[in-house]
């Protein structure tokens, strides 16, 4: 197939060190030393406190403190408590262990202290390789992009994903796919990230059903982690669009589960974009081995057994109009210019779990 003309583009590589492979968590103390640090603060959610303790136990003599109160959407009250612990412990670096909640908290601390970070992700969310932070205060989630929050080191240890529940594996993986999908039609799209995006989508689309069939399979788990790294790197390199704006509004305003929200909304937003971004979505369809991108994504979410409606994950129906209004505030660049009525119609269909629809005019 002849290649298409290469248009003018910008590409910025992000300055992170990545370690990939089973057992790589044991390299954490060496990485701390390479950062010229000696007093790490390990952050996690309450559910991952045991894992945080296991990472702390790698340090000899014991020098790592823990803060295990990370929460979804990085609420400011949690960040303020963590900052107090940083000061009391005289911490000189941060180790985030877990998913987007832990990594988001470490980013929020780093933003205000300048401390270096090591991220040890246990989900497929991808936040560990992005210079993006989303924080919630007074019921609204605000997102910004700055290299000040990019972790210096990322350690991908597939063994830490083996206990990730199948349902969360699926929703987290769909969250990662969303990063790559939007990278393909981003206003900042370029040939490098587009190759990574298509490969990342294909890797996750193959790995997630295999994880569903055999949650302990290292090959599928490694493939999913590889795909998540690629997809997250895409998100870190280019701008976000409508899907992420919708999910940030729904998550920050209604406290919906982050990965579940992405899983429910992805096929709906891709159907919404279908006419405006045909070439980008052809690549998504190819990665999914589907006729159309939105159909392939809808089939994948159905195959994985993830939530199919906003109602199922706690979205109040009377919040739809408010959500549509918030989506249109400070909108991200998007192939299709969103309007209130079409966004509201899309959210209505997503709320009740209806089939995604391309014509919402």
Residue 253: CATH number of its domain: 1.20.1090.10
Answer whether residue 12 is part of any domain: no
Between 249-258, 259-268, 288-297, the lowest mean confidence (pLDDT) is in 249-258
Do 131 and 197 lie in one domain? The reply is no
pLDDT of residue 1: 43
Do 26 and 150 lie in one domain? The reply is yes
pLDDT of residue 8: 85
Do 238 and 189 lie in one domain? The reply is yes
**Per-residue pLDDT at 3 exceeds 80:** no
Residues of the domain holding 174: 166-352
The residue out of 126, 161, 196 marking a domain boundary is 161
Burial 280-312 (b: 16+ CB within 10 A, else e): bbebbbebbebebbbbbbbebbeebebbbebee
**Per-residue pLDDT at 99 exceeds 90:** yes
Look up the CATH number of the domain holding residue 108: 3.40.50.1970
Confidence band for 9, pLDDT divided at 50, 70 and 90:
confident
Q: How far apart are CA 58 and CA 62, in angstroms?
A: 8
Nearest to 282 by CA among 207, 181, 361: 181
Do 98 and 186 lie in one domain? The reply is no
The residue out of 161, 184, 214 marking a domain boundary is 161
Do 149 and 219 lie in one domain? The reply is no
End-to-end alpha carbon distance in the chain: 36
Do 275 and 330 lie in one domain? The reply is yes
**Per-residue pLDDT at 191 exceeds 90:** yes
Nearest to 263 by CA among 312, 214, 326, 223: 312
The residue out of 100, 130, 161 marking a domain boundary is 161
Length of the chain: 361
What's the rounded mean pLDDT across residues 334-343?
96
Answer whether residue 181 is part of any domain: yes
Q: How far apart are CA 202 and CA 118, in angstroms?
A: 28
Partners of 155 in beta bridges: 19
pTM: 0.90
Contact assessment for residue 107 and residue 149, using Cβ atoms and an 8 Å cutoff: yes
The percent of residues in the chain predicted with pLDDT above 90, rounded, is 88
- Structurally, the chain folds into a number of domains equal to 2
What's the rounded mean pLDDT across residues 146-161?
97
């Amino acid at each position: 197939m002849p290649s298409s003309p290469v248009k003018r583009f910008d590409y910025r590589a992000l300055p992170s060190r990545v370690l990939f492979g089973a057992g790589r968590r044991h390299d954490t103390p060496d990485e701390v030393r390479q950062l010229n640090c000696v007093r790490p603060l390990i952050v996690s959610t309450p559910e991952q406190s045991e894992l945080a303790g296991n990472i702390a136990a790698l340090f000899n003599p014991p020098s790592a403190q823990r803060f295990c109160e990370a929460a979804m959407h990085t609420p400011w009250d949690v960040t303020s408590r963590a900052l107090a612990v940083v000061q009391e412990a005289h911490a000189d670096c941060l180790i985030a262990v877990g998913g987007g909640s832990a990594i988001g908290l470490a980013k929020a601390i780093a933003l205000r202290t300048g401390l270096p970070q090591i991220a040890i992700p246990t989900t497929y969310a991808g936040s560990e390789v992005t210079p993006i932070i989303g924080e919630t205060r007074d019921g609204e989630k605000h997102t910004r992009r700055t290299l000040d929050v990019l972790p210096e080191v990322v350690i991908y240890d597939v063994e830490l994903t083996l206990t990730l529940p199948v349902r969360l594996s699926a929703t987290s993986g769909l969250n990662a796919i969303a990063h790559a999908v939007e990278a393909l039609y981003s206003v900042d799209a370029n040939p490098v990230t587009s190759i990574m995006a298509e490969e990342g989508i294909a890797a996750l689309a193959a790995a997630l059903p295999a994880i569903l069939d055999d949650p302990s399979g290292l090959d599928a788990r490694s493939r999913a982690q590889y795909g998540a790294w690629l997809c997250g790197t895409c998100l870190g390199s280019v701008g976000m669009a409508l899907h992420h704006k919708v999910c940030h509004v729904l998550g920050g305003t209604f406290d919906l589960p982050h990965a579940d929200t992405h899983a429910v909304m992805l096929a709906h937003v891709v159907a919404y974009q279908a006419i405006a971004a045909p070439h980008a979505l052809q690549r998504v369809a190819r990665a999914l081995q589907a006729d159309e991108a939105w159909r392939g994504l809808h089939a994948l979410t159905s195959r994985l057994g993830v939530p199919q409606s906003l109602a199922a994950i706690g979205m109040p129906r009377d919040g739809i109009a408010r959500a549509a209004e918030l989506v249109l505030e400070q909108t991200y660049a998007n192939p299709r210019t969103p309007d209130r009525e079409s966004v509201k119609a899309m959210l209505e269909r997503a709320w009740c779990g209806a089939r995604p629809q391309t014509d919402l005019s």
